[in-house]
Amino acid sequence: MILIIFDVDGTLVFSEKLDSKCFATTYQEVYGLPFPTIDWRKYPHVSDTTIFKTVIQEHFNREATQEEEESFRQKFVANIRKNRKKTPAEYKEVPFAKQTIDRLLMDDRFIVGVATGGWKAPAIVKLNFVNIPTIPLIISGADGKVSREDITNETITNARKQYDNIERIVYVGDAIWDVTTTKNMGLPLIGIRRKGDVDFLSNLGVGLVLKDYEDYDAFLKGVLNVGVPK
């Protein structure tokens, strides 16, 4: 069997950074301080846990507690839902993502997982916005984990607990940190660049970069043959 692990933001769902802006706005509402930057490359790891803890350390010179992280996460999810209600067009499916997930779930050759740098709760909310099923996906988020490697490893571990015959693992992502993570872990990567700037990931050594999932045969060919970014 082949385990296919998807990122969420930019890979299955796109929002033109509305979720990132919502993260920053939520922080400002809770703490009354400007959020430093939503350029996630500026943080030690691109995960909600690391980003939140880094900013708390910078502003207050202390570690964030689990309780305040959970409180912030709940407020963040509530704001995402509120924004979506105000402007229903926010958050869109990367074309044919739902159809691809549905087809993979019906194919006994594949196991479908999610490893997102965001926390699990907002990721599930965003997938629900575009009607991508979250059950029986094996989903891991940044909850209690620092790095994207940690998150991806949890998805793999949980998949292996359910399936003892996984012979290949492929990651699907859209960003430079997906390239870094898969290189570090030795995982094949299929790139998704919704805006069509496929050279961005190709130039980073990704063997297959697609604009979306319309060509299901091309995607499946990549699942079977693509390698680790060079």
- Mean pLDDT score of the chain: 96
Question: Where are the chain's structural domains?
Answer: 2-14+91-225, 18-86
CA dist 153 and 185 (Å) reads 9
**What are the Cα distances from residue 168, in Å, to 159, 182, 186?**
12, 14, 11
Whole-prediction pTM value? 0.96
pLDDT of residue 17: 86
In 10 A of CB 66, how many CB atoms?
A: 9
Question: Two tokens at 92?
Answer: 């869109």
Mean pLDDT check: name the lowest of 24-28, 84-88, 97-101.
Answer: 84-88
- Cα 101 to its chain centre, rounded Å, is 15
CA dist 49 and 56 (Å) reads 11
At residue 150 the predicted structure's pLDDT band, cuts being 50, 70 and 90, is very high
Reported CATH class of domain 2-14+91-225: alpha beta
Q: Give per-residue pLDDT as tens, 32-56.
A: 999 999 999 999 999 999 999 999 9
Secondary structure element (H or E) that encloses residue 156, with its range: helix 148-162
Secondary structure element (H or E) that encloses residue 177, with its range: helix 176-185
- Domain 18-86 = CATH 1.10.260: no
